[in-house]
Amino acid sequence: MFASPAETLAGLQSSGYFTDIKVATAVFLAGSVHRPILLEGPAGAGKTELAQSVARASAVPLLRLQCYQGIDEEKAIGQYDRSLQELYVLLMSRSIQTPDWAQIKREITSRAYFMAGPLLDAIEQEEPCVLLIDEIDKVDYAFEAMLLELLSVWTLSIPRMGTVRATSIPLVFLTSNQERRLGDPLRRRCFYLVVEHPNAEREAAIVARRTPHVDPATHRFIAGLARSLRAYTLEKPPSISEMNDVAMAMELLDLDRILPAHKEIMLPLIAKTEGDRKRLLMKEVFESIVRMAAKYAEQITQDSPDEDVRVLAGSEIGQ
């Protein structure tokens, strides 16, 4: 999909995903040697968005399997089209005096009578696509075990039809919020990335992309606010998506700074549990968070490339 780690990083950035050379290298290698990537990390840190951005950057289709408790193979792989099967049996039994039932059975369990789910669809694409298996930690062990065949030998076993081999091997992303620990057999088949909250420079760039008409100093303030909030003990520290909301709110309300007086307006956007809301409602807490945000914002240098860009520029890895 990409020719080098540097091209991967640049492609992701131009499709709106800001990350570092380590993540870009893992994506490049996974695409080159056909390994799935398991992404773990806090909610809103950019796991799903990474898969979507890889598809956008390489201009390939994104197929998505949204996992949930109780999901079964039919939802993931697909199922026979029962009404079409019945219709065929009816037609055969009416039009032929002595139907060949073995032949009819073979016919109605062939690929033509099977409606593909996202997994089958992904391996039947003419060109490799991106397959996102989102929130894999919600599935049970049986479903996880079913995925092992796909992710190691790139085949799927379909009842009565047999084994379907991949026409093209997708670049697979599995995401998890670690609600359940995934098994080691699945882990060993994947490259593993922890998607963390970004550093302040990158967070300012991400927020700037969403609100391009807002002053860069405000973007730096928002990145400082994110750092300040995450340094404070919260049950649910804000992620990039909350900071994007703050940026949009500041734009709509025409604010270039958040002052202690804006506490009540900002709390629904940044405090997401009752406990966090109570904590941030305390006057001195919110005041000190806003003060620290301004201090952190001053430390963000506008023009200096962050560490990962320097690594890329000075090493052969990016060439």
Ligand X SMILES: Nc1ncnc2c1ncn2[C@@H]1O[C@H](COP(=O)(O)OP(=O)(O)OP(=O)(O)O)[C@@H](O)[C@H]1O
* Binding interface with ligand X (CB under 6 A): 16-19, 43-49, 175, 177, 195, 198, 206, 240-241, 244
Span from 46-54, 183-191, 205-213, 310-318 in contact with Mg ion (CB under 5 A): 46-54
Q: Does 48 bind Mg ion (CB under 5 A)?
A: yes
Kindly state the smallest distance separating residue 40's Cβ from ligand X, in Å. 9
Listed in sequence order, the DSSP H helices in the chain are 5-14, 21-33, 47-57, 73-76, 82-95, 101-108, 118-123, 141-153, 184-188, 200-210, 216-231, 240-252, 263-270, 274-281, 283-299, 307-314
Kindly state the smallest distance separating residue 192's Cβ from Mg ion, in Å. 17
DSSP 8-state symbol, 2: -
Q: Whose Cβ is closer to ligand X: residue 166's or residue 193's?
A: 193
Structural contact between residues 109 and 161, judged by C-beta atoms closer than 8 angstroms: yes
Query: Residue 73 half-sphere exposure, CB side, CA atoms within 13 Å?
Result: 16
Residue 219 touches which member of ligand X, Mg ion, none, C-beta under 5-8 Å by kind: none
Q: Whose Cβ is closer to ligand X: residue 154's or residue 173's?
A: 173
Nearest to 199 by CA among 299, 57, 292, 51: 299
Q: Whose Cβ is closer to ligand X: residue 180's or residue 257's?
A: 180
Q: Does 176 bind Mg ion (CB under 5 A)?
A: no
Query: Residue 317 half-sphere exposure, CB side, CA atoms within 13 Å?
Result: 20
Dmax over Cα atoms in the chain, in whole Å?
88
Residue 206 touches which member of Mg ion, ligand X, none, C-beta under 5-8 Å by kind: ligand X
Residue 177 touches which member of ligand X, Mg ion, none, C-beta under 5-8 Å by kind: ligand X
Residue 43 touches which member of Mg ion, ligand X, none, C-beta under 5-8 Å by kind: ligand X
Structural contact between residues 222 and 243, judged by C-beta atoms closer than 8 angstroms: yes
Angstrom distance (rounded) from CA 133 to CA 130: 10
Determine the 3-state secondary structure of 166 from DSSP: coil
- The site for Mg ion, by CB under 5 A, has a size of 1
Angstrom distance (rounded) from CA 31 to CA 317: 16
Structural contact between residues 53 and 209, judged by C-beta atoms closer than 8 angstroms: no
User: Whose CB is nearest to ligand X?
Assistant: 46
Q: Whose Cβ is closer to Mg ion: residue 25's or residue 48's?
A: 48
Kindly state the smallest distance separating residue 134's Cβ from Mg ion, in Å. 6
Kindly state the smallest distance separating residue 300's Cβ from Mg ion, in Å. 27
Q: Restricting to residues 140-159, which ones interact with Mg ion according to CB under 5 A? A: none
Span from 2-10, 44-52, 53-61, 193-201 in contact with Mg ion (CB under 5 A): 44-52
Binding site for Mg ion (CB under 5 A): 48
